[in-house]
Amino acid sequence: MSIALPSSEYITRSVATALEEDVATGDLTAQLIPADRTSKATVITREDATLCGRAWFDEVFRQIDTRVQIVWKAQDGDRVRANQLLCELTGPSRSLLTGERSALNFLQLLSGTATETSRYAEALKGTSCRVLDTRKTIPGLRLAQKYAVRCGGGTNHRIGLFDAILVKENHIAAAGSIAAAVAEARLVNSKVMLEVEVENLDELQQALAAKVDRILLDNFSNDDMKTAVSITRSHQNKGIELEASGNMSLETLREVAETGVDFISVGGLTKHVRALDLSMRFA
């Protein structure tokens, strides 16, 4: 699977930060091992998953010791099975031990994000709806988690506050109305996607009249979502996308998708991450 990675500079910075908090001035415990000793290690997954995070794993050992060699047996985005071999490592024993935790932290977190996303993407198969992530990410690792979502078959929403405009309830209240908020948004930047959050069908009509790019249906019932889809598809301002949001789960996802919305955004993809169970063992 070929999915664009974040920049190498971003990955380098992320790993450097992780090593600074874990290794800092040196790994005291690793010094128990003779400096000239070399080892071989393997990493396996203890559960079925979608793999993600190889570049961060590799970068950990690149920054610690370029003599460490890693041979991967699976690619980012691959479905892997419990007890499957993911990679083999050879190199100085001290360096393997020093990098173990930081490398696994990246791999298990990002694989956990990709795995959860893959479950949601699988639930939407056969519909025209796509699952979106949100800005509810681990601080400092947003681009990494957004990449993991793509590896899991999901679609990225805006990266941050700088690349799209999402007019929410508080923006509308401060501006005075949906029309006023949208007008001001177009003055701020008319080239990025403009989305408006609505809480009822009356606000939907206001957003449609404002000719925005996408409308977020916040906590709509399924019946109201069906009505919103019907209204939007027959409106004179055609082509406006609909996104559903609010308390979405795997159990409710399919039914929501079948209302006809274009997207379902799920904060839990990146917020409620359970790290993948991985194991690194020396031969």
Give me the active site residues, please. Answer: 101, 136, 168, 197, 218
First to last CA, the chain: 30
How far apart, in Å, are the Cα atoms of 247 and each of 17, 64, 226, 252, 256? 33, 42, 17, 9, 11
- Phi and psi at 90, nearest 5°, equal -135, 145
Smallest CA-to-CA distance from 276 within 132, 11, 80, 10 is with 80
Integer CA distances (angstroms), 272 to 55, 107, 109, 243, in order: 23, 16, 11, 21
Please choose, from the candidates 23, 15, 2, 39, the residue with its C-alpha nearest in 3D space to the C-alpha of residue 107.
15
DSSP 51-86: ---HHHHHHHHHHH-TT-EEEESS-TT-EE-TT-EE
Q: Which residues, in sequence order, are bridge partners of residue 280? A: 43
Tokens 């681009």, located at residue: 143
Q: Which residues pair with 88 in a beta bridge?
A: 42, 71
The residue written with tokens 């399919």 in the block is: 254
Q: Which two tokens stand for residue 86?
A: 């993911």
Closest CA relative to residue 97, chosen from 276, 282, 278, 279: 282
User: CA 140, CA 121: separation in Å to the nearest integer?
Assistant: 25
